[in-house]
A and B are shown apart, each in its own frame.
Chain A
Amino acid sequence: MRPYVVQGHSRPVTWVVYNREGDLLVTCARDKEVCLWFQEDGTRLGSFQGHDGVVYTADIASDSERLLTASGDGTTRLWQMETGKELFEWHSSSREPCRAVSFAVGERLAAFSTDPFGNNPPGFHIVRVEEDMLDQTEEKLVSEIIQTRIYRLGWTDQNRVIVTAQEDGFVRRWDVETGKIIFENRIHAEQINDLRFSGDGTHFITGSSDKTAKLVDTRTLEVLKTYKSGTPVNAVDMSPLMDHVVLGGGQDAADVTTTAAQAGNFSAKFYHKLYEEEFGTVRGHFGPLNSVAFHPSGRGFTTGGEDGFVRIHHFDDDYFTTKFF
């Protein structure tokens, strides 16, 4: 089916994410706004206003009551999804931009990462998220200073471990209590731009500027599969329904010249998860793709691009019936 092409942002879209039921969609962008959409028909429900800088990522609580956003304005904020009201904000120690954010299992803890800023090194922080906002404090349970910036992070192993995807091409497992590295693996030659977990959390997929995406074992950090793309990979996700993964990317926006839109190869590429073979592309954006997400049912996907557009796709029936292999 033709995608819904929606424009709620005036600047490049940085992140798209569905809620657990898959009826809502949240998009973040460089224009300081966070938009909330009905995924079914692309109706805009509203926006979360308050950030004073690019919003890099967001995470939706599993009951869709709350939303976490990380922004370049040096804050990570908690919102009420239903009303769009800001509930709380955590500040980085000296205005370092916040990059990645993730709820822990149970949503009583959250982690966010901060970029280097001025002379301040990058870091990551773990905070408590209270049920009742009257109890909420800005205290950081862990605040660790590290070497290279974290682009994405996620919780695993009963909230005892955080997995990070970093600028130096490493994926690392960190002990939540001590804030120390348990072990690490350099899986990419260049920075890792995106990371998304499988439904059961046993593996995750990473996308890197080294033009590959990799499927990685969460526990051992061993690479299970490699997907080669001709262009830098900015965004990855895997289908919860089929053995498919999707890669988004394209020539770096800074390198895009005045040649045809095709030059950058701004498409979402579909690969078979196990065979590592490419079997389809979906074009449409005229800038690199910055984020891609599968619908939780696997019946659609959404992409957000440097061109500022969000494209909400619902698969046709033949996607499910065609034998691609």
Chain B
Amino acid sequence: MTDKYGRDQFVIRFMDDTEIYWNDGKTQQPDMVYERRNWTESGVQWSPYGSYLATLHRQGVAIWGGTAFKQLQKFAHPDVRRIDFSPNEKFLVTSSITKDKDDRLLLVICVFDVRTGQKLRQFEGYPEDFLRHEDVRAGNLVWPIFKWAGGKEDLFFAKLATSKTTGQAVISVYECPDMGLLDKKSLKLDAVEYFEWSPSEPLMSIYHRESQEGNIPAKISLMQLPERKEIRQKNLFNVSSIEIFWHPQGDFLAVKVDRHTKTKKTIYTSFELFCIRERDIPMEVLELPNKTEKVLTFSWEPEGHRFVIVHGEGPRYNVSFYSMKDEKGRLSVKLLGSLKDKHCNAIFWSPKGKNVVLAGLKTMNGQFEFFNVDFFETMGQAEHFMATEVEWDPAGLFLATSVTAVHQMENGFNMWTFQGRNLYRLPRDRFFQFSWRPRAASLLTAEQNEAIRKNLPDKIKEWDREHVARAEEANREVLEKRQRLRDEWKAWVESTAEWVAQQQAFKKEMMGNKYAEREFKMVEVTLTETISVQDEIYKEV
């Protein structure tokens, strides 16, 4: 963050080592910041603004920070499995799964104050106390169990669990910082299947499934907290399943609805798109031209109003880009364009929008297409064979693709520019994790940002000069290192001279006349062969 070159950090984990680097795009190499063996037993995790790096241990969690990565706080929680920071880094949720004496699964979830290290509340119970019993029966341990409300303050967190009295799924919302149940009671709602907070405010989207044999239709509702006010709802019929996608800044909400026909044989997909920022939350419906087409993924543009879906029947898929605004900025869903027959099954938007990477992972072996949505053109194509993970840096300038230890071979990561140029590769055997350090929130006002933008051309010149100097220095370092290696090698070779002479003498003695290279001469032979002779009259032109 305080780096004078404005570089971003990332952490990698392989074998027993954890290493933190600066990503230096200019010199095209990583610059090591910190390394430590056996730092963690089961993983590391950045806090949402990158202030802390949390390490998991058998005894609990430790957080580290500062330039030297000193230990800042410890949180005791035996056998901790998963951790989760609140969006503003104020609280830390830790959880463990153990077995009680009757061999039942026992969950322990603790909420800590990150700064003081104080345990604020401990929840203990069986899976039904934290999950819907449908999920428990299916063996799905849905994480996170506690979902944090978005916004500038860490105000609420909630869980969807089985009610002890009715056996129905209920949403319990807890309030910070006293950790009590909001208004001392859970939300009374029917047939709740799923909920998700808006990333930007205490607003909850809730999916109620169809109930009473279809007499009560399925429903999507938006509920504001702590008022418990339903500000918008939408009934849906013949729903077989839904998926909820919040826009990263909370501007929009997309609900992917899979409907079945009366016979339940065919499934067709449509999208219900809510525009949260407008009055009364207007809604648009998007249906694909071919309704029965399978939709693979959906993804909102961060800091933008566009989205992309991948659809088709495979093995190649179509990628379609849509905008939520028409030319005049009014709300309407508009198709921007489609790309046909792409090796793509996953979408990764740059965190700043505009650029997107179409990735073909798993069965597509790691193909990447770097696409600019503003100009609607492909900037570059690349391949990282067998890549399993893809992650953009916080500035949207670099992309890291990695092959983790799920594959036996070619472990390590590749670093690309946003245009798809390979900067460097770092092969590491038994590679587990790559994670960019998130950036802190900007402290600048809009005017200050504008001023910076104005000065940009001068700044760029300055940066370029710096960059040239640094590149030269890096080059010199490499050249010096190579020279050193060559000198060392030469010295080593010279040190063997006596021994070599001995061996040669021995060889000569043993092999006698066979030792000498047999004489051979290169002889150039010219052969002329007359194939036939023919007389022709020479004609003058």
Contacts and interface: CB of A to CB of B under 8 A. Distances in A.
Interface of A: 62-63, 105-108, 156-159, 200-202, 211, 219, 224, 228, 230-231, 251, 255, 259-260, 262-265, 274-275, 325
A200 B409 contact: no
B530 interface: no
Contacts of A105: 503, 506-507, 510-511
Contact of A202 (B412, B429, B496, B514): B496
A141 to B, nearest CB: 16
Contacts of B386: 263
Contacts of B446: none
A292 B492 CA distance: 26
B492 A224 contact: yes
Contact of B365 (A107, A251, A259): A259
A43 to B, nearest CB: 20
Nearest to B511: A106
B365 A260 contact: yes
Nearest to A273: B489
A275 B489 CA distance: 10
B499 interface: yes
Nearest to A224: B492
B411 interface: yes
21 contacts: A62-B514, A63-B514, A105-B503, A105-B507, A105-B511, A107-B511, A108-B510, A157-B503, A200-B500, A201-B500, A211-B429, A219-B496, A224-B492, A230-B409, A230-B427, A231-B409, A251-B408, A262-B365, A263-B365, A265-B385, A265-B409
A202 B511 contact: no
A87 B58 CA distance: 67
B482 A255 contact: no
Contact of A325 (B482, B511, B514): B482
A4 B154 CA distance: 69
B456 interface: no
Interface in B468-492: 482, 485-486, 489, 492
Contacts of B489: 274
Given A62-B511, A105-B507, A200-B496, A251 B482 contact: no
Contacts of A263: 365, 385-386
Interface string B494-514: 001001101110110011001
B493 interface: yes
B409 A274 contact: no
Most buried by B among A105, A107, A231, A264: A105
A107 B507 CA distance: 10
Given A211-B429, A231-B410, A251-B409, A106 B510 contact: yes
Nearest to B507: A105
Contacts of B507: 105-106
Interface string B512-524: 0011000000000
Most buried by B among A106, A228, A251, A259: A106
A219 B502 CA distance: 13
A110 B416 CA distance: 53
Given A200-B496, A260-B365, A265-B410, 18 more contacts: A62-B511, A105-B506, A158-B506, A159-B506, A200-B500, A201-B500, A201-B503, A202-B499, A202-B500, A219-B496, A224-B492, A231-B410, A251-B408, A251-B409, A263-B365, A263-B385, A263-B386, A274-B482
Contacts of B503: 105, 156-158, 200-201
A108 B507 CA distance: 12
A264 B410 CA distance: 9
A106 B505 CA distance: 12
B290 to A, nearest CB: 30
Most buried by B among A62, A107, A200, A219: A200
Contacts of B496: 200, 202, 219
Interface in B76-128: none
Contacts of A260: 365
A211 B511 CA distance: 38
B504 to A, nearest CB: 8
Contacts of A211: 409, 429
Contacts of A156: 503
A230 B493 contact: no
B506 A274 contact: no
A271 to B, nearest CB: 13
B216 to A, nearest CB: 49
B409 A158 contact: no
A5 B530 CA distance: 36
A60 to B, nearest CB: 13
Contacts of B408: 251, 255
B496 to A, nearest CB: 4
B385 A274 contact: no
Contacts of A224: 492
A202 B498 CA distance: 11
A159 B504 CA distance: 12
B402 to A, nearest CB: 13
Nearest to A262: B385
Contacts of A158: 502-503, 506
Contacts of B427: 228, 230
B506 to A, nearest CB: 4
Contacts of B511: 62, 105-107
A73 B429 CA distance: 37
Contacts of B365: 259-260, 262-263
B386 to A, nearest CB: 7
A105 to B, nearest CB: 5
A15 B363 CA distance: 34
A119 B482 CA distance: 51
A306 to B, nearest CB: 16
